[in-house]
Chains A and B, each alone.
Chain A
Amino acid sequence: AQSVAQPEDQVNVAEGNPLTVKCTYSVSGNPYLFWYVQYPNRGLQFLLKYITGDNLVKGSYGFEAEFNKSQTSFHLKKPSALVSDSALYFCAVRDRGGGADGLTFGKGTHLIIQP
């Protein structure tokens, strides 16, 4: 079984400050990890993924995420937040050995960037 936890329903950050959106996961094997973003009244868009290799993954719009195997975490980060980053962020996981099963998504974290 695979699962994802996003412990914060909402994260508030002042514009220009660094931001972190937390994600922890559980899989029986090795994970594929993803972040997706949903802007207001729009569909979901891919941000970044961790497959293998470097633990620090860089994605779209200046976002990055750090894979930490010992802590089973994949936190999303950005050095300097923009008001336009305000959106709903989903972390997702798939067990590499899980066959055709789909992604398991977290419950989502609302990121609010205050001007």
Chain B
Amino acid sequence: NAGVTQTPKFQVLKTGQSMTLQCAQDMNHEYMSWYRQDPGMGLRLIHYSVGAGITDQGEVPNGYNVSRSTTEDFPLRLLSAAPSQTSVYFCASTLHQGSKGEKLFFGSGTQLSVL
């Protein structure tokens, strides 16, 4: 099992460029999410999906789009990159264990710089 695979690991963009961060999981989890990590602000939820074809906004969705055409893939799109989107991005998938709660599995992260 590869778990959660994120690509690329590093990316530099110019202001106004667009790009897609890829995320794939092979654990057949229904719930997937994207977080951004900024110094002193912890992890903030951008978007999440409870299953194929269903997405919803998290805490900081502006400037980002997501889609979920398959259970495995949950790409995050930056429509027009801004310096404020310089951050480390983590994709996660959630194992729901009923009465035992849940557990997130994170990808290794994408360090994005917008100049």
Contacts and interface: CB of A to CB of B under 8 A. Distances in A.
Answer yes or no: are A and B bound together in one complex.
yes
Interface of A: 4, 6, 9, 32, 34, 36, 42-46, 49, 51-52, 90, 92, 94, 100-108
B42 A107 contact: yes
B41 A43 contact: no
Nearest to B46: A102
A44 B90 contact: yes
B104 interface: yes
A100 B101 contact: no
Contacts of A4: 42
B75 interface: no
Secondary structure call for the B interface? strand
Nearest to A32: B101
Contacts of B100: 51
Nearest to A42: B108
Contacts of A34: 104
A92 B40 CA distance: 15
A45 B48 contact: no
Contact of A43 (B40, B42, B45, B108): B108
A49 B45 contact: no
A32 B48 contact: no
Nearest to A52: B99
Contacts of A105: 35, 42-44
Contacts of A108: 42-43
B26 to A, nearest CB: 16
The 10 nearest A-B residue pairs measured at CB: A51-B101, A105-B43, A107-B42, A44-B106, A102-B45, A43-B108, A105-B42, A43-B106, A100-B50, A102-B48
Contacts of A102: 33, 35, 45, 48, 58
Contacts of B45: 102-104
Contacts of B105: 46
A100 B49 CA distance: 9
A43 B90 contact: yes
